[in-house]
Structure 1
Amino acid sequence: MKTFQHFLTTFLIAFSATLFAQTTTVTITTDTVPIQSKKRNERITSDLSLYVGLNNFGGSLPTGYDFRPIGSRFVALSWQKRIPLSVNGPTKLRLVTGPEVAWNNFMFEPSRNILVDQNSQLHIEQADADLRKSKLVTAQFNLPVMVNVAFRSGLTLSLGAYAGIRLDSYTKVKPEGGSAVRTHGTYNLNPIRWGLTTELGFRGSSKLFIRYEPNTPFRAGQGPDASVWAVGLKL
């Protein structure tokens, strides 16, 4: 499984780099019509997108892994290329891909819970005083690949998957009336993660997105066996 994940990530990153290095104009021509022929040009376009939403773990979690629904946030900054596949007719088909940096923030619910890594095992400990904030943050470089369908009504639907590598992870603990302390570490997180993604909305407006990672982000036996989900808006 790890070999497949490494292969998938390497392939997707190489594929995206190749696409972004090109400045080709794609020309799509309709069937010849008597007396008159029609020709349509469709260029590869790019845009910068911001994803903002909520995230959390799913599945059966050990005691202490309770997170604040609103405090646990997902943010991603993405640069995407839209590559035309079929643009004749009322329904348009495009390939959407491009690099992104994504942050998962998991905010602990109880006011004294702290995540600690001891001897390659994760533990939930209780702080000596009430905490204003206690969370686990992961930063990841992702490469999504989606197929986008745009209908005549303006409704668009994208379906695809993504894979990525961990850039950083840390815990942030802020006691009441004190200064925040960040502790960087791997926290037994897998270096490579992958998931499924879908986006729904109207052309030229914000879109609803849903992401789901069926596999646990932690190494086997060294952390909770949990999935990860995120939902929010693409701006």
Structure 2
Amino acid sequence: MKTLVKTIAALALAITVNFGAAAQDEDHENNDYTHVSSKRHNMFSRKDFGLYLGLNNYESKTLPELDNINSRYVALNWRKNHRLITGNNVDVALGTGFEFAWNNFMLKDNIVLKNQPNGATFIDAKESLSKSKLVVTNFNIPLMLQFGFKESRWKLGLGAYGGARIDSYMKTVGENGKKRTHGAYNLNKFHYGLAAELGRNNFAFFARYEKTPMFQDNNPINGNSISFGIRL
């Protein structure tokens, strides 16, 4: 009887010790897994939507001065992130997708854009205007190489975009009321440019420079558009 009790007690002790050791090993493995998982978490979601809000300007010696504060840039961007590298410190993803962008060029002077025999140019409006702006609507396909720095949580994107103009018009508000005149105005149909973004989480600063001139090469006035602002 005493031998049986001793045997049962020994078995119970052995089971308890083994169970405790197994539990510790499991906790250790879980902690290691969690540690690895946290390191291997990719900063870039598979898909995201971005709203660009900013200002427009252009690099030119022939185009008129703009009302910079009211020359606004707006774009709706749908992006798919292809995860290339998920590292311990840095993630890398290639962003592709499409967007619709509106470039508003608010003119400071009392002028309008008109088609002339030698191309489109700005002429006197012949009436007092409280608003005169050129609006260009584009469909773009951006391509962005993105880097995510895990310690600081900052994201950097460098890339390019190409697209096509889908609409353009002059909008004026003056003594004779509101007018909206659609036309090609000798603007380039297709364009491409360079882009950069820097931010954290769902907020970023962006800048874009269009390498293609706004107007066709034979136009008497021309320049390259610049956009900058924030992406939400």
Q: Name the TM-score, length of structure 1 as normaliser.
A: 0.77
Q: Which runs of 5+ in 2 are unaligned?
A: 1-31
The number of equivalent residue pairs is 195
User: What amino acid is aligned across from residue 86 of structure 1 in structure 2?
Assistant: I
1:98 and 2:78 aligned: no
2:141 equivalent among 140, 143, 149: 143
1:47 and 2:48 aligned: yes
1:60-99 paired onto structure 2 within 5 Å: 60-62=61-63, 65-99=64-98
| CA deviation after TM superposition for structure 1 residue 228, in Å | 1.0
1:209 equivalent among 197, 200, 206: 206
Match of 1:163 in 2: 162
| CA deviation after TM superposition for structure 1 residue 229, in Å | 0.5
| CA deviation after TM superposition for structure 1 residue 52, in Å | 0.6
User: What amino acid is aligned across from residue 114 of structure 2 in structure 1?
Assistant: V
What are the Cα deviations for residues 33-86 of structure 1, in whole angstroms up to 9, with x where unaligned?
Answer: xxx886768696111111010011112125xx1111111111100100111000
1:1-235 paired onto structure 2 within 5 Å: 45-62=46-63, 65-110=64-109, 112-119=110-117, 121-152=119-150, 153-176=152-175, 178-202=176-200, 204-235=201-232
2:215, 2:125 → 1: CA distance?
24
Tell me if structure 2 keeps the 8 A contact 1:102–1:141: yes
Tell me if structure 1 keeps the 8 A contact 2:121–2:221: no
Query: Structure 1's 77 and 185: CA in aligned 2 closer, same or farther, altered over 3 A?
Result: same
1:135, 1:217 → 2: CA distance?
15
CA RMSD of aligned residues (A): 1.9
Q: Name the TM-score, length of structure 2 as normaliser.
A: 0.78
Match of 1:23 in 2: none
Match of 2:29 in 1: none
Larger of the two Rg values belongs to structure: 2
Q: Which runs of 5+ in 1 are unaligned?
A: 1-35
User: What amino acid is aligned across from residue 60 of structure 2 in structure 1?
Assistant: G
What are the Cα deviations for residues 199-221 of structure 1, in whole angstroms up to 9, with x where unaligned?
Answer: 0011x231100000133121012
| CA deviation after TM superposition for structure 1 residue 226, in Å | 1.1
